[in-house]
């Protein structure tokens, strides 16, 4: 809420990471009839209330709430109450961190001319939960009561470190298919592509994970100094936080998309979702790749496919490799998680919805015999690695996995979009 003057602070990283593992946990449980979703249904009143927050304008409060409405705040033994007009005075201007404030309809139930809803207002420092009641009078829905509570987040760096520790547990390096090896942690991916002219490394994880990546490369019998290209999936610290140090040690050329390369050059600062919270040592790419361009080494070619949405320059990579005299199309998926983001009225990333939908469309038209991704849980790394046996069918080969994954993520995205306020 604007009037509370909540300063931007570090988000609780574990909440976002959990949404990556189980995207359905971030989905709104919207259960309305068709009328509830129409512009003359109760949702219209809720969206006016949301717009009051987004725009910082009291006029939307008077549109959304009935004149006799009561607004109550409950936190422990603290109780406060406002009339509609008193509450409206709290909305004077948009908050400075509006681009990080995500509002959702978590539940909406309609019975005749009465409705109830559960709303969440997810801000960097606090999570508000609103329980609202609505009535339809003279053909118009109005909010007649609102009771809200707050979960205050005292987010310390130690909490982030603890989460990273859980995501950077050692994982035995393993062959995936052909000349592709996994050298990352239990949760954060790093891939080594071996060629006769040197090697390619895709992502390093955060700088804290770099020693593990280097050790895994050496365990496989390869030398980190032989890595010629350091490729990026996207510019978040948990994927490229170790780039600057790895480049110093090996001299590998850093390759990234233009937009995520700019984010990497800023060390992750100015991110459209994280702000400056999850910064890392800046690194300037040696080469910028556009959609469809390739990185070639030792007779192999990795093609860049821009799949923005999770970040503005999110880059998936494809390659064809051979194993046991058979060719396989391999896709390294950047990531499609966008449901935790502010999808509507986002001035920092106004085209996020179009980008995400275009990425779904592009990926549905691609073929992948083997789907890999920036996090191991996306492609069941642990399960498939355990089933990988000499002479047996390669469990990483699953030509239908990309379609299934895209469908799941698209459903998650569209449900999250439906739950947020409509574009203004």
Could you say which of 53, 181, 199, 238 is catalytic?
238
Q: Which residues neighbour 173 within 8 Å (Cβ) at sequence distance 6 or greater? A: 181, 182, 183, 216, 217, 219, 220
Helix axes 352-364, 401-419, angle to 10 degrees: 160
Give the DSSP letter string of 320-355: EEEETTEEEEEEEE-----TTS--SS-TTSTTHHHH
Q: Is 199 a catalytic residue?
A: no
Torsions phi, psi for 16 (to 5 deg): -70, -40
Q: Are 185 and 178 in contact (CB under 8 A)?
A: no
3-state secondary structure of 28: coil
Q: Does the active-site annotation cover 305?
A: no
- Catalytic-role residue among 49, 341, 349, 378: 341
Q: Which of 53, 199, 375, 405 is catalytic?
A: 375
239 included as an active-site residue: yes
Query: Is 375 a residue of the active site?
Result: yes
The single-letter DSSP state of residue 381 is: H
Q: Is 273 a known active-site residue?
A: no
- Cβ within 8 Å of residue 69, ≥6 positions away: 83, 84, 142, 143, 144, 145, 146
Distances (CA, A) of 92 to 25, 53, 349: 33, 9, 23
Residue written as tokens 């995936």? 176
Calpha distance 60→50 (Å, rounded): 8
Q: What are the residue ranges of helices labelled H in 344-400?
A: 352-364, 381-387
100's tokens: 């990080």
Catalytic residue among 53, 236, 305, 405: 236
**How many CB atoms lie under 10 A from the CB of residue 323?**
17
Interatomic CA distance for residues 314 and 327, integer angstroms: 26
Question: Annotated catalytic residue: which of 53, 199, 234, 405?
Answer: 234
Dig out the tokens for 258 from the structure.
Answer: 């233009």
E strands present in 124-252: 126-137, 140-152, 174-177, 180-182, 191-195, 198-202, 227-231
101 Cβ contact partners less than 8 Å away, ≥ 6 residues apart: 53, 54, 95, 121, 122, 123, 124, 342
Residues in the chain: 424
Q: Which residue in this structure is represented by tokens 């490394």?
A: 201
Catalytic residue among 53, 199, 239, 405: 239
* Residue positions annotated with a catalytic role: 234, 236, 238-239, 310, 341, 375
């Amino acid at each position: 809420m604007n009037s509370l003057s909540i300063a931007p602070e570090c988000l609780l990283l574990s909440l976002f990471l959990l949404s990556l593992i189980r995207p359905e946990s971030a989905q709104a449980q919207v259960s309305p009839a068709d009328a509830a979703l129409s512009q003359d249904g109760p949702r219209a009143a809720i969206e006016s209330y949301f717009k009051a927050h987004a725009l910082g304008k009291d006029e939307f409060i008077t549109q959304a709430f009935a004149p006799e409405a009561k607004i109550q705040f409950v936190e422990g033994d603290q109780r406060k109450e406002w009339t509609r007009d008193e509450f409206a005075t709290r909305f004077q201007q948009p908050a400075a961190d509006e681009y990080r404030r995500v509002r959702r309809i978590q539940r909406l139930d309609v019975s005749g001319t009465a409705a109830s809803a559960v709303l969440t207002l997810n801000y960097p420092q606090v999570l508000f939960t609103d329980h609202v009641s609505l009535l339809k009078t003279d053909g118009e829905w109005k909010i007649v009561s609102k009771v809200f509570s707050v979960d205050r987040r005292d987010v310390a760096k130690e909490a982030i470190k603890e989460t990273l520790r859980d995501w950077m547990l050692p994982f035995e390096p393993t062959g995936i298919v052909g000349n592709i090896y996994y050298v990352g942690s239990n949760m954060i991916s790093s891939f080594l592509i071996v060629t006769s002219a040197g090697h390619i490394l895709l992502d390093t994880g955060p700088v804290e994970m770099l020693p593990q990546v280097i050790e895994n490369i050496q365990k496989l019998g390869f030398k980190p100094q032989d890595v010629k290209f350091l490729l990026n999936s996207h510019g978040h610290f948990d994927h490229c936080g170790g780039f600057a140090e790895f480049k110093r040690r090996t001299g590998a050329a850093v390759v990234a998309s233009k937009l995520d390369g700019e984010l990497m050059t800023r060390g992750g600062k100015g991110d459209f979702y994280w702000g400056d919270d999850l910064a890392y040592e800046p690194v300037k790419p040696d080469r910028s790749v556009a959609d469809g361009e390739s990185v070639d080494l030792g007779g192999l070619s990795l093609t860049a496919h821009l799949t923005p949405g999770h970040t503005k320059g999110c880059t998936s990579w494809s390659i064809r490799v051979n194993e046991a005299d058979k060719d396989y199309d391999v896709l390294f998926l950047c990531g499609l998680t966008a449901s935790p983001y502010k999808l509507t009225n986002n001035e920092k990333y106004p085209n996020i919805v179009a980008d995400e939908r275009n990425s779904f469309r592009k990926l549905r038209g691609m073929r992948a015999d083997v789907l890999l991704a920036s996090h191991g849980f996306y492609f069941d790394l642990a399960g498939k690695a355990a089933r990988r046996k000499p002479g047996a069918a390669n469990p990483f080969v699953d030509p239908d996995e990309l379609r299934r994954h895209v469908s799941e993520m698209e459903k998650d995205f569209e449900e999250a979009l439906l739950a947020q306020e409509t574009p203004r």
